[in-house]
Amino acid sequence: MKIKILYIGLSIFLLSWIIPSLVQLTMDSSPRYPFTYYSSVINQFCYLDQDNDKVIGKDMSGKVYTDAEFDRVLPMFYYRQLAMENAIPDSIQGVPVDRQTIARNSFFFWYKPKDKNTPVIELYPMFESCSGKVDLENPSDMFRLKENIEFIDMATNRVDEQKSARFQQAMERAGFTFPALWVTGIPTSQKSYDEGYFALDSKGHLFHIKMTNGKPFVKDTKASNISCMLPMEIDNRSLYGFLFDTNHTLYYLSTDGYRLVKVLENVNPDKDRVSIMANMFYWTVAKISSDGEHTYALENKSMRQVDSLFRPAPESTWDKTLPYLFPFTVAFQDSTNSYIYPRISDYYFPSLLLNIILTIVTFVVYRKEKSYGKYLAGIITLFTGIAGFITVCLFAKIRK
Amino acid sequence: MNKALLFKEWIKTRWMFLLMFVVFILAMGYIALRISSAARNVGMPHLWEVFILKNVVLLDQIKVLPLLAGIIMGITQFIPEMTKKRFKLTLHLPLGENRIVCLMLSFGMVCLLLLFTVSYGGFLWGLSADFPREVVGAWFATILPQVLCGFASYLLTAWIILEPVWSQRIYNAVIGLLILSLFMVQGVPGSYIYMLPFLFGTLLLLALYPKISIRHFKEGMQ
């Protein structure tokens, strides 16, 4: 009987995973928010409203724009279209603009928790940052940085002792305390320039490490309490990347003396998604969390908040139905990290109504059973719902 | 008596076991050949980049092999027992019922362990000559759930075959499919790290389940 109980337990566990997953597939479950961008022409948020099959450009006062008008209201976003029509304005907010200036000062940054919570193979190519050539060249070695730094030649799979020692000494001279907690960079030669890597030492200090003219360059950025960093390469080279500190604040690391500039507070890098659409006047920063989408317009130079917008998360059919159908669900993957492991949801008490009906059906199925088995089956169905009902009435009938 | 029982299992499975060994060695040889051919054509540094930065694990191409090996081992070992109810005779041997089942399942598990250790272990050992420990570790982390899936498929096959009630066999097969799919979720190398205790726990449970089927068998349930 003990083994049977273990079988029943595993069956309920598995069915609480597969049945809700299949039901979820039949319903819409992920909220969608309209594309929103802060206009530097009319100084307010504009968005694309999905009206049946038509997508209409609107601003916050409800004014509707045609496609051509919408391009002109958001010249910082649609500048390529305007350039094709030769319609880029000479100046915006008194500042002369042209296609090159807009392109050089615009960038996009998308962050999702999976960017941080994904296992990686901790070997990285160290590019020559000052090669003097247009394209970056792939190096012949890769490095590991943990207890020490080691460069491994890819052709022979052997450690390059001399190069490793040069970097090790340079890092120790700069005050880096081994072991490194993490390393981050852009490990591809398909980028316009190289700024090497950023590594957090065992004391929590962030260091900048790169190779210039074959020599190690190591600098303490003086930034600390950093939980993760997402390096960026942008045309105007004004920043090294975005960082989250341990207090859930998002910063960017300026190339102007490694200055940390605060972008947004209360962003949980393990749960929230962030998008930044930046131009030479404003950054449109959106934080998508479980309660909805928070959008902010920040002035480019000062990062001062000039406008904000909140759209509550629409309740999907799945969200509405789930608590009435299943007392709990099991999942093995989610959108916040790449690790596979069982995740058991909270207990949904509204499902008890359906569970009571299923319990009555269970007693009908077990009506000829004289032993305590029918009571056990009833209790299992009452608390575990559909998964328990299928298990005790079909997969593993409880007999004396 | 233990030796005699194990010898009986060996007689039943030896040719299929050797055939699986050959298939695994050929599969590993094929993957090794692909790596060596790619190294000659595009160079070792490019292969490093593909394996490290693109998370490519070539052994993923043969990820169903351990699963199939487990099923074949289970069928080879237990179908002859169930034909003409020979299993009744086995259960009448002067050994405890638990001991008999434990010996039979242990024999199959050890055969699979030998098969997987020699083939995958040999392959990873060879790989470590040309690739750093991080790559070998990532490949090991990728194949470990697949190998555990082989053990799970063996135990599930034994459980399903030993079950005398046809309808229960079908229910067991449904549960078995769900369990096997847990071992085969697509992910990046290392994504199973927190799942491993759960997978080992599931294997322990699966080793107990044939007892339910044997109880049904002894009760003469159809």
Main-chain dihedrals φ then ψ at residue A309, nearest 5 degrees: -150, 140
Report the pLDDT averaged over residues A396-400. 72
> Quick one: which H or E segment has residue B79?
helix B65-82
CB contact under 8 A, A10 and B189: no
Main-chain dihedrals φ then ψ at residue B115, nearest 5 degrees: -60, -50
Q: How many CB atoms lie within 10 A of CB B30?
A: 13
Q: Touching check for A341 and chain B: CB below 8 Å? A: yes
Q: Touching check for B205 and chain A: CB below 8 Å? A: yes
Helix H, strand E, coil C: the string for A273-308 is EEEEEECCCEEEEEEEECCEEEEEEEECCCCCEEEE
CB contact under 8 A, A332 and B49: no
CB contact under 8 A, B193 and A14: no
User: Which tens digits make up the pLDDT trace of B40-92?
Assistant: 999 999 999 999 999 898 888 899 999 999 999 999 999 988 886 777 777 77
Calculate the CA dihedral of residues B172, B177, B182, B185 and round it to 10 degrees: 180
Question: What contacts B187, CB < 8 A, 6 or more positions away?
Answer: A333, A338, A339, A340
Q: For A331, which residue in chain B has the nearest alpha carbon? A: B182
CB contact under 8 A, A338 and B191: yes
List the beta bridge partners of residue A278.
Answer: A107, A283
Residue B112 CA to residue A339 CA, distance in Å, equals: 27
| E strand intervals along A12-53 | 36-38, 45-51
Of B43, B132, B187, Cβ closest to residue A123: B132
C-beta separation of A231 from A241 below 8 A: yes
Question: What contacts A54, CB < 8 A, 6 or more positions away?
Answer: none
**ipTM given for this complex:** 0.90
Residue B57 CA to residue B55 CA, distance in Å, equals: 6
Of B49, B191, B211, Cβ closest to residue A119: B191
Residue A204 CA to residue A220 CA, distance in Å, equals: 11
Å between B144 CA and nearest CA of chain A: 14
Q: Encoding tokens for residue A12?
A: 């309920």
Residue A162 pLDDT greater than 90, yes or no: yes
All structural domains of chain A with their residue ranges: 2-28+319-395, 36-104, 108-276
- Number of domains making up chain B: 1
CB contact under 8 A, B212 and A394: no
Specify the pLDDT at position B222.
59
Report the pLDDT averaged over residues A114-126. 94
Q: For A153, which residue in chain B has the nearest alpha carbon? A: B45
CB contact under 8 A, B49 and A138: yes
Q: Encoding tokens for residue B5?
A: 């029982």
Amino acid identity at A74:
L
CB contact under 8 A, B198 and A6: no
Q: What is the mean pLDDT of chain A?
A: 93
Residue A347 pLDDT greater than 60, yes or no: yes
Choose among A250, A253, A247: nearest CA to A285.
A250
Identify the domain containing residue B128 by its residue range.
2-218
Specify the pLDDT at position A27.
86
Alpha-carbon radius of gyration of chain A:
28
Q: Touching check for A6 and chain B: CB below 8 Å? A: yes
Residues of chain B contacting residue A11, judged by C-beta atoms under 8 Å apart: 175
User: Which tens digits make up the pLDDT trace of A60-111?
Assistant: 999 999 999 999 999 999 999 999 999 999 999 999 999 999 999 999 999 9
DSSP A309: E
Å between B178 CA and nearest CA of chain A: 7
Q: Touching check for B135 and chain A: CB below 8 Å? A: yes
Helix-, strand-, coil-residue percentages of chain B, each rounded to 5: 80, 0, 20
Residue A1 pLDDT greater than 70, yes or no: no
Helix A352-365 and helix A317-325, axial crossing angle in degrees, nearest 10: 40
Q: Touching check for B170 and chain A: CB below 8 Å? A: no
Question: What contacts A270, CB < 8 A, 6 or more positions away?
Answer: A113, A116, A117, A336, A337
Best of B188, B205, B213 to substitute, by most chain A Cβ atoms within 10 angstroms, is B188
Of B135, B198, B212, Cβ closest to residue A121: B135
Per-residue pLDDT band at A134 (split at 50, 70, 90)? confident
Specify the pLDDT at position B116.
97
Specify the pLDDT at position A315.
86
- Which letter, b or e, does each residue of A162-195 get, where b requires 16 or more Cβ atoms within 10 Å of its Cβ? ebbebbbebbeebebeeebebbbbbbeeeeeebb
Residue A372 pLDDT greater than 70, yes or no: yes
Residue B181 CA to residue B217 CA, distance in Å, equals: 28
Of B131, B194, B195, Cβ closest to residue A157: B131
A32 SS3 class: coil
User: Which tens digits make up the pLDDT trace of A230-268?
Assistant: 999 999 999 999 999 999 999 999 999 999 999 999 999
By mean pLDDT, which of A148-152, A219-223, B83-87, B113-117 is the weakest?
B83-87
Specify the pLDDT at position A182.
96
Specify the pLDDT at position A258.
94
> Quick one: which H or E segment has residue A185?
strand A182-185
User: Which tens digits make up the pLDDT trace of B155-197?
Assistant: 999 999 998 888 889 999 999 999 999 999 988 899 999 999 9
List the beta bridge partners of residue A41.
Answer: none
Main-chain dihedrals φ then ψ at residue B98, nearest 5 degrees: -65, -40
Å between B209 CA and nearest CA of chain A: 7
Residue A282 CA to residue A37 CA, distance in Å, equals: 10
Å between B42 CA and nearest CA of chain A: 12
End-to-end CA distance of chain B: 30
Q: Encoding tokens for residue A170?
A: 């340079």
Q: Touching check for B131 and chain A: CB below 8 Å? A: yes
CB contact under 8 A, A339 and B191: yes
